[in-house]
Amino acid sequence: MKLLVTGGAGFIGSAVVRRAIADGHEVVNLDALTYAACLANLASVADDPRYSFVKADIRDRAALDAALARHRPDAIMHLAAESHVDRSIDGPASFIETNVLGTFHLLEAARAYWQAEGQPEGFRFHHVSTDEVFGSLGAEGQFTEATPYDPRSPYSASKAGSDHLVRAWHETYGLPVVMTNCSNNYGPFHFPEKLVPVVILNALEGQPIPVYGRGENVRDWLYVEDHADALLTVIRRGAPGRSYNIGGENEARNIDLVRMICALLDEARPAPRPREELITFVADRPGHDLRYAIDPSRIATELGWRPSVTLEEGLRRTVAWFLDNEPWWQALRDRAGLGQRLGLSA
Ligand SMILES: NC(=O)c1ccc[n+]([C@@H]2O[C@H](COP(=O)([O-])OP(=O)(O)OC[C@H]3O[C@@H](n4cnc5c(N)ncnc54)[C@H](O)[C@@H]3O)[C@@H](O)[C@H]2O)c1
Q: Which of 51, 113, 155, 292 is catalytic?
A: 155
pLDDT of residue 172: 98
Give the separation between CA 221 and CA 312, rounded to whole angstroms. 10
How high is the pLDDT of residue 179?
Answer: 98
What pLDDT, on the 0 to 100 scale, is given for residue 120?
A: 97
At residue 342, the pLDDT reads: 39
pLDDT < 70: residue spans in the chain: 336-346
- Beta-carbon-side half-sphere exposure of residue 343 (alpha carbons within 13 Å): 23
List pocket residues of ligand 1, CB cut-off 6 Å: 6-7, 9-13, 31-34, 36-37, 57-59, 79-83, 98, 102, 128, 130, 159, 182, 184-185, 191
Q: Any catalytic annotation for residue 48? A: no
HSE value, Cβ hemisphere, 13 Å, CA-based, for 91: 8
Catalytic position from the list 132, 163, 193, 251: 132
Residue 40: count of CB within 10 angstroms of its CB = 16
pLDDT of residue 346: 28
The predicted model scores a pTM of: 0.95
> In angstroms, what is the span from residue 84 Cα to ligand 1's centroid?
9
220 is catalytic: no
Residue in 186, 263, 173, 190 with CA at minimum distance from that of residue 221: 186
**What local confidence, expressed as pLDDT, does residue 287 receive?**
80
Query: 300-305 long-range CB contacts below 8 Å, 24 or more apart?
Result: 302/239, 302/244, 303/233, 303/234, 303/237, 303/238, 303/244, 304/233, 305/229, 305/230, 305/233, 305/234, 305/246
